[in-house]
Amino acid sequence: MKEIDQKTSFTSQRDSKKALRLRRCQVLAGVFVLLLFPVLSFILFEYVTGSLSFIKSERILWNILWIAMIYLSVLIVTGSTRITVPVVSILIFILSLAEAFVMEFRNQPIVVWDILAFRTAMTVAGNYHFAISRPMKIAALLLCGANLLMWFLPVRFRGWKKRLAFGVSGAAVLIGVISYFYYSLIARDGWRIINMWNLSETYRENGYFFTSALSMQYLIVQSPSGYSIQHIQEIYRDIDAAGSDDAISQEDPQNIQPTNIICIMNESLSDLKIAGDFTTNEEYFPFIDSLEKNTVKGNLFVPVFGGTTANTEFEFLTSDTIHITPPGAVPFQIYVKPNTNSLVSTLKKQGYTAIGIHPYPRTNWNRDKCYNNLGFDAFFDSDYFSGSESLRHFVTDKADFDFVIQTVENKPSPDQKLFIFNVTIQNHGGYASFEDCEKTIYLTGDLEDKYPQTDLYLSLMKRSDEAFEYLIDYFSQCEQPTMIVMFGDHQPSVEDAFYDDILGKPSSEAALEERVVWYQTPFIIWTNYEQPSCHVDRLGTIYLAPLMLKLANLQMTPYNQYLLEMAQEVPAVQASYGCIDKNGVFYSWDDITSDSSPYSTLMNDYLYMTYNHIMDRQTYTPLFTLNGSE
């Protein structure tokens, strides 16, 4: 009996040792698989987004390391791979799907600031066609298989002592990696590889997670070299001493000040022939092209392409370039603080009531808060357009302009000064299907039936042209002096191959100065009273409001006056690429602000003022208000 007990005890010990060895092997296998998950997440992410073959070899480890830091952060909190691995891996996979779709429609990667614009993205997402690709399906299957394997090889930290030890050591690793990256590699070695004017290329070549980590350095915007409040005050004194000379055009000899100023930022309005030659079955801008009397019009250099409407809106209303903001940032989400001085405050100081109109949700691009901070007296959004005529589920320009007319007609008194800022929506992106839009304009010649999205877009341009003719016809008969300003916010995101075709080569091969053509839209300033007419070849968005004030014979801030002088020397300012001077010479931003540039002082002082206006807590108010008021 004793012998049997000894044998049983021995067998039990042996089984216990086997179980312990098996458990250790299981844990080791679990740790091994866990360490492979950052590698797998990296490969699947870049595979889904189509960037895997483009990433530089020296960036691969950095991408994997940053993904590993995400896994480590969550594991410190949960203490179990059964929670950490599915949660993190699935979230990264979802991000890869979002990145693939956004790159397809916007040709720009998802950046940190896009999180703030999530609501805006959701409201317009329904107008785009999302197709699940083969890489997405393969990645989903591989991810499910890997998670299933990890489920049977769990790694857990049980007991508070083990959790605490792992938490402390894990936090030390996180702090070490972050400190080394930001305070050694970036601060010491100057890792600033982000290409400001081609973010998509930077993300593709360096990997999404490494580039995202690198972009965090731009969250805190450093003041420009040479900047100081004292220098801002010196600039102000120089402007004040110089006074305001005639900068772009002559004042109206009658000194008429319009009772109504209607500014229309027309969604995606552009003349694509600026980007290259093509033919159509008929003209899509017959009225706009024919408009000459009492009209100043030309080409506007806007800061964005294919989307991010709010950045053009910001540049027009504030005259501040987004060049100094972090790449991909939307100032409406970050920088428009309460009581920000702008075109709105300048006009209100001169007796105008300021009305915002946009037939889409008021929360898009944070407009509801920004319009309030800028001082608009009222904001009419999509809630006021119930039952209005629509096209592709968007309110038409005709219905939008009817609301503008109605707003003018509903003034308490005909003599009341009114400023309307209207952002249209008819031509918003998502040109995959004609739906209820008739194909009235289409490409001809070698491009016929080749680019259906472009055909749809051009048909929409014809509708905008007709609506604008309707608006002008109404105010031509209006007795109240009225100025109407209309401009496009950006060119459309139609087929990339179309742009390649009309350019005559792949877009990727275009030189820096050639790419500027994709950032031009038409602008028009029309009055129903006599004013000199002219054509302006090049004008930056930052200049449009000061020019409008000049033509309206209204007072301008010192900042406005400086901009009109600056426009004589450097008429085209484009936030991403650079500037074109009065002689047609293109300068990158680095070149035009360098000591060797003939415009160094002019442009650097402008950037100082922009920084002071939107980023410095000590904004020098006299520069941005009438009569230098505090």
Q: What is the per-residue pLDDT for 251? A: 45
pLDDT tier for residue 402 given thresholds of 50, 70 and 90: very high
List Cβ neighbours of 24 (8 Å cut-off, separation of 6 or more): none
pLDDT at 197 (0 to 100)? 44
52-79 average pLDDT score: 91
Instruction: Give the pLDDT score at 224.
Output: 86
Residue 443 and residue 454 in contact, taking contact as beta carbons nearer than 8 Å: yes
Neighbours of 74 (CB within 10 A): 15
User: 26-40, 95-109, 181-195, 574-588: which range is least confident on average?
Assistant: 181-195
Question: Residue 439, SS3?
Answer: coil
Q: How far apart are CA 330 and CA 344, in angstroms?
A: 19
Q: Which of 93-102, 109-118, 194-203, 460-469 has the highest mean pLDDT?
A: 460-469
At 252, is the pLDDT very low, low, confident or very high (cuts 50, 70, 90)?
A: very low
465, amino acid identity? D
* Tokens found for residue 419: 């400023």
pLDDT of 385: 92
Report the pLDDT value the prediction gives residue 19, as an integer from 0 to 100.
67
Task: Find all residues with CB under 8 Å of 524, minimum gap 6, and list them.
Answer: 288, 291, 295, 296, 297, 484, 485, 486, 487
Grade residue 291 by pLDDT with cuts at 50, 70 and 90.
very high
CB distance 371 to 578 below 8 Å: no
CA angle 14/19/20 to nearest 5° reads 95
pLDDT tens-place string over residues 181-199: 877 776 555 555 665 445 6
Alpha helices, H only, 126-159 = 134-151
Contacts of 468 (CB under 8 A, 6+ apart): 287, 288, 397, 401, 486
SS3 529: coil
Averaged pLDDT for residues 2-13: 54
User: pLDDT at position 157, please?
Assistant: 83
> Which pLDDT does position 48 carry in this prediction?
93
Q: Which of 98-107, 353-362, 531-540, 584-593 has the lowest mean pLDDT?
A: 98-107
**Lowest mean pLDDT, pick from 13-27, 90-104, 296-310, 595-609:** 13-27
Q: What integer pLDDT is reported at residue 548 of this predicted model?
A: 96
Question: Is the pLDDT score of 248 beyond 80?
Answer: no
The pTM of the full predicted model, rounded to 2 decimals, is: 0.74
Cα four-point dihedral sign 256, 262, 263, 264? negative
**Range of lowest pLDDT (113-122, 253-262, 463-472):** 113-122
The average confidence (pLDDT) of the chain is 86
Q: How confident is the model at residue 244 (pLDDT cuts 50, 70, 90)?
A: very low
Give me the DSSP letters along 209-262.
HHHHHHHGGGSSPPPPTT--HHHHHHHHHHHHHH-----SSPPPTT----SEEE
Q: Is residue 232 pLDDT above 60, yes or no?
A: yes
All CATH 3.40.720.10 domain ranges of the chain, comma separated, are: 229-628
Q: Where are the beta strands (DSSP E) in 320-478?
A: 353-357, 378-380, 390-391, 394-395, 418-423
pLDDT in tens, 477-492: 999 999 999 999 998 9
Q: What is the mean pLDDT of residues 462-479?
A: 96
- Asked if residue 630 has pLDDT above 80, the reply is no
For residue 315, what are the contacts with CB-CB under 8 A and spacing of at least 6? 302, 303, 321, 322, 540, 541, 542, 575
* Model confidence at 593: pLDDT above 70: yes
More confident position, 296 or 511: 296
Burial class of residue 159 (count of CB atoms within 10 Å of its CB; 0-12, 13-18, 19+): exposed
Q: DSSP assignment, residue 390? A: E
Q: Helical H runs in 418-477?
A: 452-476
Structure confidence by residue, pLDDT tens digits, 343-389: 999 999 999 999 999 999 887 887 888 898 899 999 999 899 998 99
pLDDT, tens digit (0-9, with 9 covering 90-100), for 11-63? 556 656 666 676 677 778 778 888 999 999 999 999 999 889 889 888 899 99
Q: What is the side-by-side strand order in the sheet with 586-588?
A: 572-574, 578-580, 586-588
- Of the listed ranges 49-58, 115-124, 316-325, the least confidently predicted one is 115-124
**Per-residue pLDDT, 437:** 78
What's the confidence (pLDDT) of residue 602? 94
Hey, which residues does 366 pair with through a beta bridge? none
**Mean local confidence (pLDDT), 147-166:** 86
Query: Which segment, 210-219, 258-267, 362-371, 440-449, is predicted with the most confidence on average?
Result: 258-267
Q: Give the H or E element holding residue 265.
A: strand 260-266
Q: What is the pLDDT of residue 569?
A: 95
Which pLDDT score is estimated for 9? Answer: 54
Domain topology for 229-628? Alkaline Phosphatase, subunit A (3.40.720)
pLDDT at residue number 562: 95
> Of 431-440, 475-484, 500-509, where does mean pLDDT reach its minimum?
431-440
Query: How much is the average pLDDT of 419-447?
Result: 87
More confident residue, 595 or 162: 595
Q: Is 249's pLDDT higher than 60?
A: no
pLDDT(152) > 80: yes
